[in-house]
Amino acid sequence: MRLLKRLLLVLVAIGLVAAGAGYFGFTRVNQTYKAYPGDEVFVEIPAGDGPARIGQRLVDAGVVQDAVTFRGAVWLSGRARELKAGEYRFERPMTALEVVDKIARGDIHRRLITFREGLTIGEMAEVFETAGLGKAKEFETAARDPSVIRELDPEARDLEGYLFPETYTVRRDVAPSALVTQMAELFLETLTPAIRDAIKAQGLTLREAVTVASLVEKETAVPEERPQVAAVYLNRRRLKMPMQADPTVIYALQRAGRYKGNLRRDDLQFDSPYNTYRYPGLPPGPIAAPGKASLEAVAMPAAVDYLYFVSRNDGSHVFARTLDEHNRNVQRWQVDFFRQRRQSPQ
């Protein structure tokens, strides 16, 4: 009888200890915790890390209090097999259970970076640096390697025109070379077989087509005008007329570090193979990154015989077939338009 009482006392003691430990453990995994000094901390979880190694990384970063608490949270959640690799951002006190849930959901930290249509490599590099992802020079260096598009454009000396304008989701520590490769690969993906076949049917090389598309991109942002602008340049090319495209002169000045924000009449005489006022035919290569709409416009230009266009000063253009018609449009939309603005009372 005495032995039975002792056994019961032992069992009760064990039960109390277990209950106390359980309560203590349950309390710990539900307590918020933050021991990192700044407003945020990033924790990289490599592929292949198990719960024990993940827990230690989180402890070292000050995200969870100790490894036992993390393991308890993993056990209670039942999500040990769901923990995902990646970089995680923590910016507030969290319970161990919340931390486990974040990692099991794969709530990986990403940044968005947007490159709009019509940017040069240099301008994209500035966007890259402004986004806090690295130095502009590093992006430019990576973009000088044309190997990713070498098969389609053996003449390419860099990736000008081949970095597809889009919004990209990237890691905080993305390597410039990795982003540049991703952008070039998206360009190749966007250049569908149908677009490539249409380009080839017009007797254009890929480089020539992308060059014309870059002119279209710089000349107009009006969707319905793109096929017409493409037709103008392709018609002029077919007739061996000079392109006389202002954006090519601006690009030439930018490359030389001489563009001040305004194109002057004297600039049209600047000596550069990209200056299509001085040199016939297309420039040596693309002058900016065309979007899909501009690429499609070159692949399927409007069936028109326009050879000229001039701005209406509202983003749109008026087109002409003959030089006389074009000169009348210039008189109306450039000379008279701005003269009336100067004379009108403010």
Nearby residues of 309 by Cβ (< 8 Å), 6 or more positions away = 219, 228, 229, 232, 317, 318, 319, 320, 326
Same domain, 346 and 328: yes
Phi, psi of 301 (to 5 degrees): -70, 160
Are the C-beta atoms of residues 113 and 167 closer than 8 Å to each other? yes
pTM (whole model) above 0.85: no
Same domain, 32 and 65: yes
Domain housing 247? 193-306
Residue with tokens 């000094």: 37
Same domain, 165 and 180: yes
In this structure, what token pair is assigned to residue 271?
A: 């000596």
Digit-coded pLDDT (tens) for 104-117 = 999 988 889 999 99
Nearest Cα residue to 225 out of 163, 283, 306: 306
User: Average of pLDDT values for 131-157?
Assistant: 95
Last residue of a domain, one of 164, 190, 216: 190
- How far is 205 from 284, CA to CA, in rounded Å? 13
Please state whether beta strands 167-170 and 111-114 pair in parallel, antiparallel, or not at all (unpaired).
Answer: antiparallel
- How far is 68 from 194, CA to CA, in rounded Å? 58
Answer whether residue 8 is part of any domain: no
In this structure, what token pair is assigned to residue 95?
A: 């319970």
Same domain, 298 and 225: yes
What letters, b where the CB count within 10 A reaches 16 and e where it falls short, cover 70-102?
bbbbbeebebeeebeebebebeeebbbbbbbbb
Q: Is the pLDDT of residue 25 over 60?
A: no
Answer whether residue 227 is part of any domain: yes
Are the C-beta atoms of residues 299 and 199 closer than 8 Å to each other? yes
- How far is 126 from 129, CA to CA, in rounded Å? 5
Same domain, 302 and 317: no
Q: What is the pLDDT of residue 140?
A: 97
Taking the chain, what is the end-to-end CA distance rounded to the nearest angstrom? 110
Last residue of a domain, one of 140, 168, 190: 190
- How far is 114 from 24, CA to CA, in rounded Å? 48
In this structure, what token pair is assigned to residue 8?
A: 């019961």
User: Average of pLDDT values for 181-200?
Assistant: 95
Last residue of a domain, one of 141, 165, 190: 190
Same domain, 331 and 302: no
Nearest Cα residue to 37 out of 75, 91, 105, 115: 91
* CATH number of the domain that residue 317 is part of: 3.30.160
Same domain, 171 and 197: no
Same domain, 219 and 151: no
Digit-coded pLDDT (tens) for 230-242 = 999 999 999 999 9
Answer whether residue 7 is part of any domain: no
Q: Would you call 186 helix, strand, or coil by DSSP?
A: helix
Helix, strand, coil percentages (3-state) for the chain, rounded to 5, are 55, 10, 40
* CATH number of the domain that residue 39 is part of: 3.30.1490.480
Distance of alpha carbon 74 from the chain centroid:
37
Answer whether residue 19 is part of any domain: no
Answer whether residue 37 is part of any domain: yes
Are the C-beta atoms of residues 73 and 98 closer than 8 Å to each other? no
Q: Is the pLDDT of residue 73 over 70?
A: yes
Q: What is the pLDDT of residue 5?
A: 55
Same domain, 315 and 297: no
User: Average of pLDDT values for 119-142?
Assistant: 96
Same domain, 161 and 179: yes
Answer whether residue 11 is part of any domain: no
Q: Which residues pair with 168 in a beta bridge?
A: 113
Answer whether residue 230 is part of any domain: yes
Same domain, 319 and 223: no
Same domain, 209 and 179: no
- Which helix (H) or strand (E) element contains residue 252? helix 246-255
Domain count within the chain: 4
Digit-coded pLDDT (tens) for 223-278 = 999 999 999 999 999 999 999 999 999 999 999 999 988 889 899 999 999 999 99
